[in-house]
Amino acid sequence: MLCDNENISVFGNDILRYSSQQHEKLHCKNSVLNPEQKIHVMRTTEIRCQEKVERRPKVVTSSWRTRRPPSPKRAKSPVNTSLSAEEIEEKLKAAEERRMSLEANKMATLAAKLSKIEEASKKKDEQTNVFINQTKEALDQKMETHIEKREAYITDLKSKLKDHLEGVEKTRQSLEQQTQEIEVAVKEKMKSAAAQRDENMKKMVERLKEH
């Protein structure tokens, strides 16, 4: 309603402003027109005002707020307060069945989660066992290779040591033989020298006897 009053007020102000302008023009002309001309000008002004009013757009009035029709109230269903023992028993049984169903669903969900956890744990254990076995096999292989290399090294070292000992033994035997031969030679030489000395002594004694 406030909007309608403002539109009407603006429209009225426009009409008054136009009428005022026409009267001013008319007043200016009255100073030079005769009475018949004045009447004609006034009628013409009224006709123009009427045409301007008719050409003015119509203002559609509307309420400031659109009110919603009140929603119909729902009729409350009458509460049946008189329940028989069988109906109460059936409701209790249905509630118990719902509770059991919820418990069963919870247990099934929990069992599924536990199954997934056990499966993941089993898979992890299997992977751990595989890793341990692979690591053990690799270590055993390295150990076997190391043992084989060590045994080969020891065998080679023993062989070299045996060859060295055999060489040492041969050298010792050779030196011993040479020593024996030298001793025999020395003894023979000393024996020969003693015999020569004795022979020389005899010759000297015989020469002395001759003198």
Q: Which spans in the chain are helix H?
A: 2-30, 35-55, 85-210
What pLDDT is attached to residue 141?
92
Q: Does residue 95 belong to any structural domain of this protein?
A: no
Say how many CA atoms lie within 13 Å of 49 toward its Cβ.
18
pLDDT block averages, 10 residues each, the chain of length 211: 45 56 53 58 63 53 50 53 80 92 94 94 94 94 92 93 92 92 90 88 83 66
What pLDDT is attached to residue 174?
92
Q: How many domains does the chain have?
A: 1
What pLDDT is attached to residue 39?
63
Q: Does residue 115 belong to any structural domain of this protein?
A: no
Which residue type occupies 1?
M
Q: Does residue 201 belong to any structural domain of this protein?
A: no
Q: Does residue 183 belong to any structural domain of this protein?
A: no
Q: Does residue 36 belong to any structural domain of this protein?
A: yes
- The model carries a pTM of 0.32
Q: Does residue 7 belong to any structural domain of this protein?
A: yes
Q: Quick check: 31 and 58 in contact, CB under 8 A?
A: no
DSSP assigned state of 32:
T
Residues of the domain holding 44: 2-55
Q: Does residue 85 belong to any structural domain of this protein?
A: no
Q: Which residues, at least 6 apart from 91, have a Cβ–Cβ distance to it below 8 Å?
A: 83
Q: Does residue 172 belong to any structural domain of this protein?
A: no
Q: CA-to-CA distance for 207 and 197, rounded, in angstroms?
A: 15
